[in-house]
Amino acid sequence: MSRLDNCPAPAKLNLFLHVTGRRADGYHLLQTAFQLIDRCDYLDVEVRADGQICRTNEIEGVPADSDLIVRAARLLQSHTGCTLGANLTLRKNLPMGGGLGGGSSDAATTLLALNHLWQTGVQRDEMMELALQLGADVPFFLFGTNAFAEGVGEKLQALDTPDVWFVVLEPGVQVPTPAIFSAKELTRDTNPVRIADFSSDAKHNWKNDLQTVACALFPQVDAAIKWLSQHGDARMTGSGACVFCAFADETAADIVVEQVQDRWTSWKAKALSSHPMAQKLGSKNIWLEAGLTLK
């Protein structure tokens, strides 16, 4: 096989995000629950024999050499000594600077597709460790399932999450992650929780510690949260800007989407239990090789 088309790169939501401390190197210590959803970017990958890595389409504001999909392909190529190359075509549906992990997910899907097409044979744990060089969220998208995450986001434990639908609002701004984490107003001392607490739905104040800072810096985010909060427990994902609310079924989500004001882009998404690339790759996926059977 020399190509794979329509490879899904799913978005993630942070069901909560707590900042529990800061390391000596400046990185923040986090706890979060990562939830995969069925809103995706899509990647077409074609093998080249000449070793060149080429992005075939323009993406506004993202030069090819700095694009995470190109960087991911070159990283896997260098790590494995593969002499093959690839043409990469990326169709973006996920907003940049939205807190949905779009760039990280694109990079992970690139690694999954090329590991398959190039037959480089890198296993899941090795791939996750390699991917940490691209960003703290990339290993999650290689983990395979929803996860409770700690550290800077790289320590992952599988997590069962409710089968729900989400309404997501795009407030119309890009929130730069460094601006949020460097804000003096950011609290960095939330008490750590346990995965068992989250799984049992114990009475904890599940929140996003970055939300207060983002709302202060970007009134558009604050306005979107206040509007969506009329319909349930709305909160921001990641460092923003997107906000979301969970609903028990698709019909309930549809009713809310129909009411969203024109100033926001809105959409619904279904919770996923596992990464959709497992079906794309069939019996040769890195999760089966790790002993996981993904639905």
pLDDT in single tens digits along all 295 residues of the chain? 699 999 999 999 999 999 998 887 777 889 999 999 999 999 999 999 999 999 999 999 999 999 999 999 999 999 999 999 999 999 999 999 899 999 999 999 999 999 999 999 999 999 999 999 999 999 999 999 999 999 877 799 999 999 999 999 999 998 888 888 888 888 787 888 888 777 766 556 789 999 999 999 999 999 999 999 999 999 999 998 999 999 999 999 999 999 999 999 999 999 999 999 999 999 889 999 888 888 6
Backbone phi, then psi, for 12, in 5-degree steps?
-125, 155
137: left (phi over 0), alpha (psi -120 to 50) or beta: alpha
pLDDT at 186: 87
Please report the pLDDT score of residue 106 as a whole number.
Answer: 98
- 149's CB contacts (< 8 A; 6+ apart) are 30, 31, 32, 33, 34, 140, 155, 156, 157
Whether 47 contacts 86, CB under 8 Å: yes
CB of 85 closer than 8 Å to CB of 52: yes
Residue 89 near residue 7 (C-beta atoms within 8 A): no
Would you say 74 and 67 are in contact if contact means Cβ atoms under 8 Å apart? no
Report all structural domains of the chain as residue ranges with CATH numbers, in order of start: 3-160 (3.30.230.10), 165-270 (3.30.70.890)
At a CB cut-off of 8 Å and minimum separation 6, what does 282 contact?
none
Q: How far is it, in rounded angstroms, from Cα 149 to Cα 142?
A: 13
**CA 191-194-197 angle, 5° bins:** 105
How far CA 262 is from CA of 170, 265, 266, in Å, comes to 11, 7, 9
Which residue numbers are catalytic? Answer: 12, 137
CA distance 57 to 215: 34
